[in-house]
Amino acid sequence: MTFLDSFLIRAALAGVGVALAAAPLGCFVVWRRMAYFGDATAHAAILGVAVSLAFSMSVFTGALVMALIMAIAVSTLSGRGYAMDTLLGVLAHSALAFGLVAVSFLQGVRIDLMAYLFGDILAVSRADLGVIWGGAVLVLALLWWRWSALLTSTLNPDLAYAAGIDPKREQLVLTMALAVVVAVAIKVVGVLLIAALLIIPAAAARPFAATPERMGLYAAIAGIGSALGGLQLSFAYDTPTGPTIVCVAAGLFAVASLVSMVRRGVQG
């Protein structure tokens, strides 16, 4: 038996891969207050799943394409007469509804809709692992390459312009990275929980990080701990794995918030 023959080993590697990709990106989502943007992109992925099955394409390809289309649509329509939260709410829920309706029209295709909505990490195959880790490496390489420019445009767009950095271009980089993370995370936590895996580890790391780089590192540690802890608890208590991973992340956030409040109380 080889190392990857165990479904638990494959599941653990998948969780670690998604956590590594989501953690630094999640920091930018938190800094830029893009939580609803992540939701809208993730919800569009279910429509991508329907398109993939209808045309016998890879689910990853369909989800990635639809996530990119949604992200670009949001970026294009923002500032054109609608408040951002209203626009994101309309697009996110519309994309999810159209995706669910489209899936119902597929004839002769067996589909476990719950697996796409909430993830099915225990069913990750070797091919899925290749896609997940390939996507994670791509996202990490993209963020490593653009880290300074992304950080400058996030903290102060005017300063970015003065330094010769185009904030709109950096927004597009984030959009592309977010679409890739959504596409690779579907198998692990599903479209309804992807935003949680992006936001919660980064939010838990924020009170303890003195620099943006440390926040990214701590978020990665929190994300990996959530994935592995959720997987172990799910296996032990026979609970849904994707939601259990998010529950562990929420627990870490609660502990981090409590520790932060205690520290502020002692210092005050």
Read off the pLDDT of each residue in 216-245 and give the average, rounded to a whole number.
93
Question: Which single residue is written with the structure tokens 């509804």?
Answer: 97
pLDDT-derived band of residue 1, with 50, 70 and 90 as boundaries? very low
2-42 pLDDT, tens digit per residue, is: 666 688 899 999 999 999 999 889 999 899 887 777 788 88
Quick one: 101 exposed, middle or buried, by C-beta within 10 A (0-12, 13-18, 19+)?
Answer: exposed
More confident: 246 or 84: 246
pLDDT-derived band of residue 144, with 50, 70 and 90 as boundaries? very high
Tell me the domains of the chain and their CATH numbers. 3-192 (1.10.3470.10)
Quick one: 76 exposed, middle or buried, by C-beta within 10 A (0-12, 13-18, 19+)?
Answer: exposed
Residue 78 has pLDDT above 70, yes or no: no
